[in-house]
Structure 1
Amino acid sequence: MDHTCERGDEVESGTSDPILTSSSVTLSNPYMLQPEGGFQPPPVNRVARIGPNQIDPIQLGRIESPPLSLVHDSTLQFLQFNCMTGFGPNGTPNRVIGWAHPDLIKLLQHAGSTIYVDISFRRLPPGFEQCITLVVHDKPSEFSVPVFYILCTTRTLDSYRNALYFVAQATQLKLNPDEVLCDFDSDLLNALQMQFPNAVVKGSVYHFKKACRTRMDQLEISEEAINIAMEKGVLDMLVSISPDRVASAGIAWVKKQIKTKCAGGGVPYTQDQWRSFWVYFRRIWILRFPPNVWNMHGLNSSIIARTSNPLQQFLRELDGAFRLPDPSLQLFVATIERIARHHVADIGAETTTLPSAVEVHSDEETSSHEGSFGSNGDDDDDDDIRFIKTEASRGHGNVVDTIDGDEHKEEVD
């Protein structure tokens, strides 16, 4: 089997990875020859018109060659891998393409780092369904820097595992983080836990709070009441207390705090909307993503202080760099390359912005409140668990994306 990725690394035929075997990793060239007996893709018609959701093979060829494959005005390789891992049911390639500045890859090789993995960026070139971004918090320098940008044509466990495999190869297998904070996607969480079995893998507080706030907005809870719930020491208390207390005493305590603060501030407490919110909360944050996935109890306070996060600032920067919702592949590559060079220059000048602290209680602050939680469970009938429909975990999209109108119907009659 010919070798696949653009880095020139050898693919070991004896790899133990159940996905990335020598028979599943193929050449990056879209016009490649397939091994005998393998799946034959439909012939490429170079004259045929490219559909709105298809990858333009001409642009694909251009990003594989200089100047787009290199860091601007240098011989450094910006394109790190471009791999096809089989075909989808409609005969389209499952492709994973990753870019990173070599100087930034070195930050991933530092032991004991914290990595943030985000999949929420949606300004994607035609033909791609996912952009995975890896941001590293480097402890020696205290910098938080986006390193890898990875485009995938599918959002599956296999795509995530393949992407992480090639990232690890790019670091010469020196990627060994202490903590990994990520978006809430079941397949992504599973892939990260398999890739980094010795690391603490958690859903980020930033995405947890963002999803909860989005749900409150959808339920038309007033902005004043939402701000009360999102204050430090209210909803985010559930992130800091012991995970086994979240579903009972923790939720009851948060409900009481919201009601008390609304009454004290003259803010109407809308019973029906809050009832619907707690139905949603139990469905998503107790059943689908249990507290041990997103709860930070017992972790180092400095980790908690960073979880809300370099991602917010970086995503704002990335979103502002693209004016079009669906940039061409060439424009996407040129833009992320420019952003990467900017961060390399910032590190050299020691001007990279540090992440701001998240408004979340520490364990010390939480301990002063736990006595008021009581030992009883949540006796409020707002969110009777009997009326909550369980749902199998889905790996397509993050939890904010999968909140849809159907959940509005899941209220207590």
Structure 2
Amino acid sequence: MSRGGDSEDETGLLQMNDLPPTTFMERLSIGGEETAFSGVSSQIVDIVAKRIEKRELQYLVLTAAPKREAFGVIRRCRDASTGGDAFRAIETEKVRRISDDDDREFLQMNLAYPMEGKLRRIVGFGHPDLIRLMKYPGITLFVDTTVSVTPKPFTQTIIVMIHDRAHNLYVPCFCYLVDTKDHWTYWNVSQWIKIQTDMACVPSMGLGDFEQALHLEIRDQFESACIVGYLFYWKQAIRRKMISLGIARVEVAAAMESGVLDLFTVLPVNVLQKTGIPFVIKTLYRLIVPTEADRKEKWQAFWDYFVKTW
């Protein structure tokens, strides 16, 4: 700490000696977008203001550091306390708990395990009050996956929700970060959901993305659940497969039209492969007329995939 007067010197230091706390905090907030003070939590500002009022920080010199430098200081301090290991840091009491006033655990899982010559990791979070809702019998379970908000080194975020009948909305209960997208990853996630709910999660219905591995996981771990999919996700998955096979965009658009592939959703399962698929193929080919050999090969590859997967 350095003793300073009521002034701002050439280095940009904001100094406080007998400066009234309110005036000092007003000057502190003038940091602007280029300083580390911009966007500071109001809770932190309140704590500093109270300490100034008590004259605990009477001889204080604060530097409005540039954001990059300030973040660098924070990062180095964190590295010094955890050895630079983020997975070790999240296991500390202050990080894994809900808040300073609530010592219940928000970190529900931090698991590393070897498989196929690679170390895999799963990290899971969840609020105990929301997790408790999963113990009600006959819940509707919804599992969604996304990559857009996933931090490195993970490759996918899995969000587990249930339908809250009282409020008629889906409540997120768990959030998992995973670094692989296969059946065993989803299996482990579901197994830990059951463990964290004391094996009392018995859903009557399971909804989720149209990923075969995800469907197998729900079927394996939650035998009581009837798996129901969304038409949008199903058509989205089929469209991605068509594009990956090199099928022309015009033909893909025709297949996505109403009354073509979506007919599969209303056909009985026992007639799907014998009469359902030939009927839909005939309907589709009237629109696109794939006469060229390479186009027929691409479509045949798609139908082979469709029969095997769906």
Is the Cα contact below 8 Å between 2:187 and 2:217 reproduced in 1? Answer: yes
Tell me the residue number matched to 1:81: 109
Q: Distance in 1 between matches of 2:208 and 2:301?
A: 21
The structure 2 residue matched to 1:221, chosen from 232, 248, 251, is 248
The structure 2 residue matched to 1:100, chosen from 126, 132, 157, is 126
Q: Distance in 2 between matches of 1:271 and 1:248?
A: 24
Tell me the residue number matched to 2:225: 199
TM-score, structure 2 as length reference? 0.60
Aligned partner letter, 1:83: L
Q: Distance in 1 between matches of 2:200 and 2:298?
A: 43
- The answer to whether residue 256 in structure 2 is matched with residue 235 in structure 1 is no
SS of residue matched to 1:286: helix
Is the Cα contact below 8 Å between 1:112 and 1:139 reproduced in 2? Answer: no
Cα deviation 1:143-185 (Å, max 9, x = unaligned) = 1233211123444544333221211122232211111123444
Distance 1:250 1:158, change over 3 A: closer
Q: Distance in 2 between matches of 1:157 and 1:255?
A: 31
Tell me the residue number matched to 1:167: 193
SS of residue matched to 1:175: coil
Aligned partner letter, 1:135: M
Q: Distance in 1 between matches of 2:163 and 2:297?
A: 37
SS of residue matched to 1:173: coil
Cα deviation 1:170-210 (Å, max 9, x = unaligned) = 22322111111234444433332221112213555433211
The structure 2 residue matched to 1:251, chosen from 271, 277, 280, is 277
Cα deviation 1:325-379 (Å, max 9, x = unaligned) = xxxxxxxxxxxxxxxxxxxxxxxxxxxxxxxxxxxxxxxxxxxxxxxxxxxxxxx
Q: Distance in 2 between matches of 1:271 and 1:145?
A: 50
Tell me the residue number matched to 2:304: 283
The structure 2 residue matched to 1:211, chosen from 224, 234, 237, is 237
Q: Distance in 2 between matches of 1:248 and 1:89?
A: 39
Q: Distance in 1 between matches of 2:267 and 2:122?
A: 39
SS of residue matched to 1:189: helix
- Counterpart mapping for 1:119-198 below 5 A: 119-121=145-147, 123-198=149-224
TM-score, structure 1 as length reference? 0.47
Structure with max Cα Rg:
2
Q: How many residues align?
A: 226
User: CA shift at 1:79, angstroms?
Assistant: 1.1
Distance 1:87 1:128, change over 3 A: same
Higher strand share: 2
Q: Distance in 2 between matches of 1:74 and 1:269?
A: 67
Mind listing any 5+ residue stretches in structure 2 that lack a counterpart? 1-78
Is the Cα contact below 8 Å between 1:215 and 1:277 reproduced in 2? Answer: no
Tell me the residue number matched to 1:12: none
Aligned partner letter, 1:176: V
- Identity rate of aligned residues, in percent? 26
Aligned partner letter, 2:306: W
Q: Distance in 1 between matches of 2:114 and 2:144?
A: 25
Tell me the residue number matched to 2:12: none
- The answer to whether residue 85 in structure 2 is matched with residue 58 in structure 1 is yes
Q: CA RMSD in A?
A: 3.2
User: CA shift at 1:211, angstroms?
Assistant: 1.9
